[in-house]
Structure 1
Amino acid sequence: MSEVVTGDAVLLDVRIAQLPVRAVSALIDIAVILVGYVISLVLWAATLSQFDSAASAAIMVIFTVLVLVGYPLIFETATRGRTLGKMAMGLRVVSDDGGPERFRQALFRALASVVEIWSLLGSPAVICSMLSPRAKRLGDIFAGTVVISERGPKLGPPPIMPPHLAWWAASLQLSGLSADQAEVARQFLSRARQLDPRVREQMAYRIAGDVLSRVAPPPPPGTPPQLALAAVLAERHRRELARLRPWPNAFPPR
């Protein structure tokens, strides 16, 4: 597990894709590109034979670059960070802030792959991924992206927002709340009914005191600690989803 800090300073718990899984994903993409490249060459062979050798060589170079850059660029832009290989392995490229990959970032990654993967047989990508704590290759460093695994263990549903605390939760500053503290609070709320009432009350005050000391403003006076924790976690989850999911009407109609 790793942490991704969103633009709202909310920490997202994500599983960074490790090198072996990314290598399999890359091999799938390479196989797709090579098959498509060979088929295209066969279909274009008759047309290319009509040009002289210099023109044919120039066309082949341009076509090769377009295939190597176009495949990841088109797929990652259209699917928001996924190629066929990544789909097969359950991976996705996201921005360092946890948001969807942008066109500019996909372009940087695609251009870098021509050098670090195709020209140098992937050795810079492997070395950089092994040295990076977040398994980044050079293209990820230049583009400001990270590859995550979407097949991690499923967590339980987030707490339900107490309606009368929604206004307070919407005003919270969550930058001081760590992922570990949020996870402790989530696990407590999920098991609270199984605990002895006295133990539950003691744990609720202790955990709520720790969590609420990291957020601002404080809850309304007299708020039960369990409800305060539920409001904080529900708002944190809401902001995560808002950051990761683009607005459906982000682009005005033309």
Structure 2
Amino acid sequence: MADIYAGLDADQLVTGEAVTLELPAASVPLRLLSGLIDVVLSVVLLLAGFLLTGALASDEALLGVGSVLTLVVVLVVLPTAVETVTRGRSVGKLAVGLRTSRSDGGPISFQHAVVRSLLGVVEIWVLSGVPAVISALVSPRGQRLGDHVAGTYVVRDRLALVLTPPVPMPPELAAWARTADIAPLPDRLAVSVRQLLSRGSGLSPAAREGLLTRLAQEVHPLVSPAPPSGTAPFALLAAVQAERRRRDEERLHREAAVRRRLTGR
């Protein structure tokens, strides 16, 4: 039986309670719109820079140097600085709700921004954006060439996070769970348990029972003492999930109390 819950998608992060937060890649039309905004803004800055250089330059040599500096500043320095300071948001991306992210979902650094800007000069300005569009269309994450080299991709930044309600503790296992030693669950197992408990109703009864039994077998060696004889797989998984959540909440409350005592706030 294929395990539809075993793996994590490449665009997911896992929180301490094994809640997956998806970072969906931006669509190509949104990327084109944000890129168009950035290009128009860059053209305006280039024209302003060239006009200023022409007004201030006293000879052709200074005009040439000023023109090159204008190109470098507008096409490389400014985009790099803006994306570094804003952690991946250019003006265009900010306008349409996008953000450049590392491949692992983290914020980009100066190195990522400068690589994207340098390759952007070639694929967007020199080659009129054709390689960037083709690469984005064939890439699963909509990455242009600069993203592939830098190890980045563009994600939708305006997302509403909706968490499913927590699984209640089965009353018959509450006393056992409070005293049981529950070892940390591997991230993939924890995510599989949470997803099956919260979304498993969409599966056929046979498939759901099969997954519950298999996951319960994987969780069973991680708890001590063993649950009462005859405990159903669903009840075991629900009890472990609920107890882990309760213990995490208690730990957070204790840490907050210590911080208040030490800092007075």
TM-score for both structures, normalised by structure 2:
0.66
**1:173: which partner in 2?**
186
Do structure 1's residue 25 and structure 2's residue 34 form an aligned pair?
Answer: yes
Letter of the 2:99 counterpart: R
Distance change >3 Å, CA 97–CA 32, structure 1 → 2? same
Distance change >3 Å, CA 217–CA 161, structure 1 → 2? farther
Superposed CA deviations along residues 77-132 of structure 1, whole A, max 9, x for unmatched, are 11111111111111111111111112111111011100000111100000111111
**1:76: which partner in 2?**
83
Aligned length: 216
Letter of the 1:27 counterpart: L
Superposed CA deviations along residues 157-206 of structure 1, whole A, max 9, x for unmatched, are 574999969x957x33224667x775443335xx9xxxxxxx9xxx6x76
**1:245: which partner in 2?**
none
**1:87: which partner in 2?**
94
Instruction: Name structure 2 gaps, 5 residues minimum.
Output: 1-8, 170-176, 228-234, 248-265
**2:150: which partner in 1?**
143
TM-score for both structures, normalised by structure 1:
0.68
**1:243: which partner in 2?**
none
Whose Rg is larger? Answer: 2
Letter of the 2:187 counterpart: L
**2:121: which partner in 1?**
114
Please give the residue correspondences for 1:1-254 in structure 2 after superposition, counting only pairs within 5 Å. Answer: 3-4=10-11, 13-48=22-57, 50=58, 52-152=59-159, 154-156=161-163, 159=166, 168=182, 171-175=184-188, 182-187=194-199, 208-211=212-215, 218-220=222-224, 221-222=226-227, 224-230=236-242
The CA deviation at 1:76 is 1.1
Q: Give distance in 2, aligned partners of 1:140 and 1:26.
A: 14
Distance change >3 Å, CA 158–CA 106, structure 1 → 2? farther
Q: Give distance in 1, aligned partners of 2:182 and 2:164.
A: 21
Q: Percent identity?
A: 32
Calculate the aligned-residue CA RMSD, in Å. Answer: 3.8
SS in 2 for 1:146: strand
Worse-matched range after superposition: 148-157 or 132-141: 148-157
Instruction: Name structure 1 gaps, 5 residues minimum.
Output: 192-198, 236-254
Superposed CA deviations along residues 189-241 of structure 1, whole A, max 9, x for unmatched, are xx9xxxxxxx9xxx6x7655455667797244338421323567999xxxxxx
SS in 1 for 2:163: coil
Worse-matched range after superposition: 226-235 or 102-111: 226-235
Distance change >3 Å, CA 209–CA 103, structure 1 → 2? farther
